[in-house]
Amino acid sequence: MTVAPEQDPVIRLRGIRTQFGSHVVHDGLDLDVYRGEILGVVGGSGTGKSVLLRAIAGLLRPAEGEIEVLGTNVREAGEAERAALERRWGVMFQDGALFSSLNVRENVEVPMRAVEGLDPALRRAMADLKISMSGLPYLAGDKYPSELSGGMRKRAGLARALALDPEIVFLDEPTAGLDPIGAADFDTLIRQLSDTMGLTVFLVTHDLDTLHAICDRIAVLAEKKVLVTGTMDEMLKVDHPWVHDYFHGPRARAALAAKDAQKEG
Amino acid sequence: MPATVTTDQTDDGSLLRLGGGFSLADLTGLHATLMQAAALGPVTVDLTEVTRLDTAAAWAIAEAEKTAQAAGHSLRLVGATEGAAALIDTVRAALPDPDQQATPAFSLMVWLDGFGRSVAAGGVFLGQLLGILGVFIARLGRSLLHPSEFRLTSLVHHCQEVGLKAVPIVALMAFLIGVVLAFQGAAQLRQFGAEVFVVDLIAVSILRELGILLTAIIVAGRTASAFTAAIGSMKMREEIDAMRTLGIDPATALIVPRVLALLLMLPILGMIANAAGLLGGGLMSWIELGISPALFVSRLVENTGVSHLMVGMIKAPFFAIVIGIVGCHAGMQVGNNAESLGRQTSSAVVTAIFSVIVIDALFSIFFAQVGI
């Protein structure tokens, strides 16, 4: 079930300018993310994909511009508004960013502790459910992050991001460092969760297979702004040199061939 | 819109009408209501009025369904949207299998098992320390045979880090200890009119015990942790594995220069501490008791045998070896996460200081037995 993107932007960026000292990363960047879609953000190394994600999630403050998430202006929101907003989104960092002193279940329980009147036994059960929904075995809940493989840490990070049933999840390179089978499984998981939970997914990736397999729309970051947005088919027709090279390179062709073979098979 | 649950009793069991948007905060109430109804008899759950169903509510429904089935009746869902039905299906598929639940057993056997393991781990730890000591001696011997393999630059660097940079703190510490001894000794000895014996008190206690012991404790805190942190962070970033693949022996490159630097520097630091301690004691005796520096020196030379200094200094190499070995060993034990680095660093400091004090006690017993 693919949710047709309704024209209802849950994330609205206007005129974003971020800079570190004199190094300008984004300048006049505009982007809309619609409810229920999976948006893939691509761009060369150093074009500020992760910086953009961090700016939207409120981890760094752009020098100029307007960031509106779920109708709240992130830059001007007060503390209470911010806290309410943070419960409506989840962030999965590249290596999971799990708290190393807590086991996986406790990690997933962390955001749930802020919910008043939730029975600890139920909280535990909900954490186990989220762990299981993220494709981890039940017994993984008792393990500590250092005992998990990279792929399992990512899944645990996703389980924590999904702990409060957010409306938006931000995923930073969800399939980086996974083997092709693990990456494909992770793609399927994201698609499935997005469909059943009605999630809007903002994902930063380099993985062309992910873009082909699950993204409804793709946004290309280049020249300090969002150069183009559109579906995969539209991307293939763009004649900007970088975009053309990206989507027509040997790896892109291989990913496309894999996608076609999957459709026929 | 807030979540609502209304319960009605009908001819085919209870009817639960759910309405509004559900979130995690509503779970406790919903779960209790559903479970109670499911245990009693057939249940119909009406989701027509629900605007948002979250995984928590879906889980409560799936759990109630399981309970109802176990009690031999049914749970019927009506009015679920396509999305809600899909979510409940997903949750049902993800329900943890209770057979897999690990049940930790608390019993005497488990406790004995844990106790046995920690005793064995203690033995293994001592074995590993001896192993590092052996490697150090072997590699040092090898370096003597093949001087080109010896890392002189590294040794000098560590001598600076371990020795030179520790001089101010060690000297200040010993000076203050000398002051304290003179002050406390004077207060007691004045009662007998034996103020002048404060010189013997200061000299014997500093030269025999305190100078080298406190220096070793400071060095253990400073250097054992530094060794662990440096080697441990290299271990964490796989630098030690990289060394092995490049044909560099980590023991020669990392352990030998560090332990050797300590071995050379600790006696020197001990001497500096002794001098600073005597200086502090002498100064305080002059101010507090009016014992002039000339008197202090003459009493020191006349009454304090050089054997006291020897007894103190003989311990320095033992302290140095133990501090170095403990620090390097803890560094090698660091795993691939930052947490283990922190744990090993603090355990290295504790182990090093503890070992220094144990060795000092053993020496005291030994010297008392042989009568020095």
**Residues above pLDDT 70, as percent of chain A:** 96
Residue A7: the pLDDT is: 67
Residue B347: the pLDDT is: 94
Q: Give dist(CA B98, CA A20) in Å, integer.
A: 52
Q: What share of chain A is helix, strand, coil (3-state, %, to 5)?
A: 45, 25, 35
Residue A261: the pLDDT is: 75
A198–chain B Cβ distance below 8 A for any pair? yes
Query: What is the per-residue pLDDT across B195-212, written as a single tens digit (0 to 9) for each?
Result: 888 899 999 999 999 999
Q: What is the DSSP letter of A162?
A: T
Residue B156: the pLDDT is: 95
* Over residues A49-59, mean pLDDT: 86
Query: Is residue B182 within 8 Å of B277, Cβ to Cβ?
Result: no
Residue in chain A nearest B102 by alpha carbon: A139
* Angle (nearest 5°) at CA A105 between B67 and A81: 100
Q: Is residue B107 part of a domain?
A: no
Give the list of residues 6+ apart from residue B28 with CB closer than 8 angstroms, or none.
A117, A118, A119, A122
Please report which confidence band the pLDDT of residue A265 belongs to, taking 50, 70 and 90 as the band edges. low
Ranges of each domain in chain A: 9-231
The rounded mean pLDDT for chain A is 84
Q: What is the DSSP letter of B165?
A: G
Query: What is the per-residue pLDDT across B278-309, written as a single tens digit (0 to 9) for each?
Result: 999 999 999 988 889 999 999 998 888 888 99
Give me the domain span that covers residue B161: 128-370
Q: Is residue B174 part of a domain?
A: yes
Most A CBs within 10 A among B22, B23, B24, hence the mutation to make, goes to B24
SS3 state at B14: strand
Q: Give dist(CA B51, CA B44) in Å, integer.
A: 18
Range with the largest mean pLDDT of A114-128, B88-102, B143-157, B256-270: B256-270
Residue A1: the pLDDT is: 38
Dihedral sign from CA coordinates of A159, A163, A169, A172: negative
* Over residues B322-346, mean pLDDT: 91
Residue recorded with tokens 């609205």: A12
Q: Are residues B87 and B133 in the same domain?
A: no
Does residue A6 carry a pLDDT above 60? no
Query: What is the per-residue pLDDT across A161-204, written as a single tens digit (0 to 9) for each?
Result: 888 888 899 998 888 878 888 888 888 888 888 888 888 999 99
Residue A187: the pLDDT is: 87
Residue in chain B nearest A115 by alpha carbon: B25
Query: What is the per-residue pLDDT across B111-136, written as a single tens digit (0 to 9) for each?
Result: 999 999 999 999 999 999 999 999 99
Name chain A contacts of B23, Cβ cutoff 8 Å.
115, 164-165
What is the tally of structural domains in chain B?
2
Q: Are residues B58 and B136 in the same domain?
A: no
Give the closest residue to A63 by CA, choosing from A32, A20, A93: A20
Q: What is the DSSP letter of B251?
A: I
Give the list of residues 6+ apart from residue B62 with CB closer than 8 angstroms, or none.
B88, B91, B92, B95
Give the closest residue to A186 by CA, choosing from A210, A212, A202, A215: A210
Which residue would you say has higher pLDDT here, B346 or B83?
Answer: B346
Ramachandran angles phi, psi of B275, nearest 5°: -65, -45
Give the closest residue to A131 by CA, choosing from A152, A166, A156, A153: A156
Q: How far is CA A225 from the centre of its chain?
A: 19
Q: Give dist(CA B50, CA B65) in Å, integer.
A: 18
Residue B101: the pLDDT is: 55
Dihedral sign from CA coordinates of B90, B93, B98, B103: negative
Please report which confidence band the pLDDT of residue B214 belongs to, taking 50, 70 and 90 as the band edges. very high
Q: Are residues B154 and B51 in the same domain?
A: no
* A67-95 exposure pattern, b = at least 16 Cβ within 10 A, e = fewer: bbbbebebeebeeeeeeebbbbbbbbbbe
Q: Which two tokens stand for residue A168?
A: 């938006």
Q: Is residue B214 part of a domain?
A: yes
> What CATH number corresponds to the domain at position B82?
3.30.750.24
Judge: domain A9-231, CATH 3.40.50.300.
Answer: yes
Residue B102: the pLDDT is: 56
Q: Are residues B182 and B321 in the same domain?
A: yes
- Please give, one letter per residue, the 3-state secondary structure of B283-318: HHHHHHHCCCHHHHHHHHHHHCCHHHHHHHHCCHHH
SS3 state at A113: coil
Q: Are residues B227 and B83 in the same domain?
A: no
Q: Give dist(CA B310, CA B199) in Å, integer.
A: 18
In the stretch 297-336 of chain B, residues with CB closer than 8 A to chain A read: 335-336
Q: Are residues B161 and B84 in the same domain?
A: no
Q: Is residue B106 part of a domain?
A: no
Q: Give how far A39 is from chain B: nearest CA, Å.
A: 21
Most A CBs within 10 A among B23, B26, B27, hence the mutation to make, goes to B27
Q: Is residue B123 part of a domain?
A: no
Most B CBs within 10 A among A88, A109, A118, hence the mutation to make, goes to A118
For chain B, the farthest-separated pair of C-alpha atoms sits apart, in whole angstroms, at 111
Q: Are residues B183 and B289 in the same domain?
A: yes
The rounded mean pLDDT for chain B is 89
Q: Give dist(CA A47, CA A51) in Å, integer.
A: 9
